[in-house]
Amino acid sequence: MDNIKNKVVIITGASSGIGEATAYKLAEEGAKLVLGARREAKLQEIVNNIKAQGGEAVYRVTDVTKPEDNAMLVELAKSAFGKLDAIFLNAGLMPNSPLSALETENWNAMVEVNIKGVLNGIAAVLPTFNEQKSGHILSVSSVAGLKVYPGCAVYCGTKWAVKAIMEALRMESAQAGTNIRTATIYPAAVQSELVSNITDEATSTAYRQLYDAYEIPAERVANVVAFALSQPDDTNVSEFTLGPTTQPW
């Protein structure tokens, strides 16, 4: 994909699942990666693997809920590679439970990571993208950002918020003539660590059974990210819904 080669791309939530798979996919296509996540050992392993295959990547331990951490990823991109072309806002949490379980700590964590983490990433890159009048912002929502499921209220709420934020960003960028493209991805059951963070026992069992029955590899989402990034600069493909062929969602 010629339009990906030499692009500098930040990926958050890059230490596992969709983020990790996307890092390998984009490196294979010739992108230069700036990886952010909380687990340094995993980030180091991924960067080492990319470099061993002849790719280019750097990392910084990142908590997306902290605006300063997001800003430092932008600075790292510029210092390591001299520019920034795109950011993939992938970090997310899904500790689902019925509202009656009152897992308020998990509610707040989802709001902090899934909504504020996306906003922090957008805030970090917009000054650069506005100034250069180009840039690409991609994010992960969920099929839970398109429909609501019981036992999933807060997660659905956060992912609907991502849908709204990203669509408004696309429209505002078009109106302002800043040429910033957006892409929002709505995966169904895709391999990740999301299910392992569910603490409500009944919900955890149900989701584990669902994912065991249907999940497809994270590489399938990585392919979609690469497709979005590979489009000509005058073309914005703003939304992608994907999931297992056999899953009724």
Tokens 């839970």 correspond to what residue? 144
Catalytic residue (choose from 155, 186, 207, 211): 155
Rounded Cα–Cα distance for residues 29 and 52 (Å): 15
Structure tokens at 208: 């584990």
CA dihedral over 95, 100, 105, 109, signed as positive or negative: positive
Tokens 């180009």 correspond to what residue? 134
What stretches of the chain adopt beta strand conformation (E)?
Answer: 8-12, 32-37, 56-61, 86-89, 135-140, 180-187, 239-242
> In the sheet that 86-89 helps form, which strands lie side by side, from edge to edge?
56-61, 32-37, 8-12, 86-89, 135-140, 180-187, 239-242
Q: Is 211 a catalytic residue?
A: no
Q: What DSSP string describes 142-197?
A: -GGGTS--TT-HHHHHHHHHHHHHHHHHHHHHHHHT--EEEEEEEESSBSSSTGGG
Rounded Cα–Cα distance for residues 113 and 214 (Å): 26
* Selection from 13, 29, 14 nearest residue 228 by Cα: 29
Structure tokens at 135: 């840039």
By three-state DSSP, how is residue 94 classified?
coil
Catalytic (active-site) positions: 155
